[in-house]
Amino acid sequence: MFGFLNVYKPKGKTSHDVVAILRRVTKIKQIGHTGTLDPFAEGVLPICIGKATRLIEYLKDDKAYVGTVQLGMSTTTYDIEGEGVKYSDKTVSSEEIEMALENFRGDIEQLPPVYSAIKVNGKKLYEYARKGEEVIIEPRRVCIHELKILNYDKEIRRLELYIACSKGTYIRSIANDLGEMLGTYGHLIKLLRVQAGNFGIDETIKLEDLETKEQVEKNLISPLVYLDYPKYELTDDEFEKVSHGNPINPSQTLPDGIILLTRNSQLSAVSRNTNGVIKCEKVFI
């Protein structure tokens, strides 16, 4: 079994839970996911099965989310699962929110939540936090490609945002930092991932529709669908060379960089073209 699944991760399960379920269903150990989602979050979770786990590094890793921020209170975890820390009765306008959002667009420095799995000195941040130990957290540079208001209910001070961002961006931190900037405080109460690279929410499959090995196989997607690189169809002689990991000289001009080598429209290898010489990086024959 070799390919990708575009799974809808339900609320209440971790990304690792989804992988564990699919391992039980398929009896395949070689299964991985790209991009962890917190248990309270839901949405797109790309799954790689079999040798497709070797392709994770070639997948686009930008993400897009719809996040709901409740203004009026910050929490220890920056989301609905934490304890209240700061409170405010202040009400702000859509215009004030829009002005504040400008500070979060483009390349920004972001402090990860103290309750996160980022490691400092070999220990996860949430392990320090649970013990009440202080640790120096270094800011991380992330890029917010798009950030816009989808809805704002001023009466209950609830804000819905669309965020397209680079890998490693914490939406919880945006909710917390925005609340601080507005003077209202805030925390994330809902998070839906709508895009992960080329994986979109409209094409996701629910876990309840993957209860048998046959259902998994039926919904398995060829890696060629999601790998966004030039493709080159191999001749018989080229296929033979590639099967032994040998370089080839393609019969047509190809751009330098990653090239997907195919045979009968199936992925044979991921290669790199340099000045007309193609060398295999990973072979799947």
Establish whether 38 is a catalytic residue: yes
**pLDDT value of position 138:** 74
**pLDDT value of position 37:** 87
Question: How far is residue 176's CA from residue 225's CA, in Å, rounded to a whole number?
Answer: 37
Q: Domain boundaries in the chain? A: 3-57+198-223, 63-196, 229-283
Question: How far is residue 279's CA from residue 285's CA, in Å, rounded to a whole number?
Answer: 15
Helix (H), strand (E) at residue 86: strand 84-87
Mean pLDDT value across residues 185-207: 97
55-95: pLDDT as tens digits: 999 999 999 999 999 999 999 889 998 899 999 999 999 99
Structure tokens at 168: 């490693």
**pLDDT value of position 232:** 97
**pLDDT value of position 118:** 57
**pLDDT value of position 285:** 87
Question: How far is residue 72's CA from residue 57's CA, in Å, rounded to a whole number?
Answer: 40
Structure tokens at 255: 């751009």
CA distances from 9 to 26, 36, 57, 155, 285 (A): 18, 10, 21, 31, 31
**Choosing from 17, 38, 79, 209, which is the catalytic residue?**
38
Is the pLDDT assigned to residue 143 strictly greater than 70? Answer: yes
Mean pLDDT value across residues 91-105: 97
Mean pLDDT value across residues 161-175: 95
Q: Pick 63-196's CATH classification: 2.140.10.10, 3.30.2350.10, 3.40.50.1360, 3.40.50.970.
A: 3.30.2350.10
CA distances from 223 to 43, 50, 161, 195, 201 (A): 20, 11, 31, 17, 17
**3-9 and 205-206: which strand pairing?**
parallel
Q: Average pLDDT, whole number, for the chain? A: 92
Distance of CA 206 to the CA centre of its chain: 17
Other beta carbons less than 10 A from residue 205's beta carbon: 17
CA distances from 208 to 47, 91, 211, 212 (A): 15, 42, 6, 10
Structure tokens at 235: 């001749």
Three-state SS string across 183-224, please? Answer: CCCEEEEEEEEEEECCEEHHHCEEHHHCCCHHHHHHHCECHH
User: Do 3-57+198-223 and 63-196 have matching folds?
Assistant: yes
**pLDDT value of position 10:** 96
Structure tokens at 124: 């996860």
CATH superfamily of 3-57+198-223: Pseudouridine synthase (3.30.2350.10)
**pLDDT value of position 220:** 96
Q: Pick 229-283's CATH classification: 3.40.50.300, 1.10.760.10, 2.30.130.10, 3.40.630.10.
A: 2.30.130.10
Mean pLDDT value across residues 8-26: 95
- Residue 147: strand pairing partners: 163
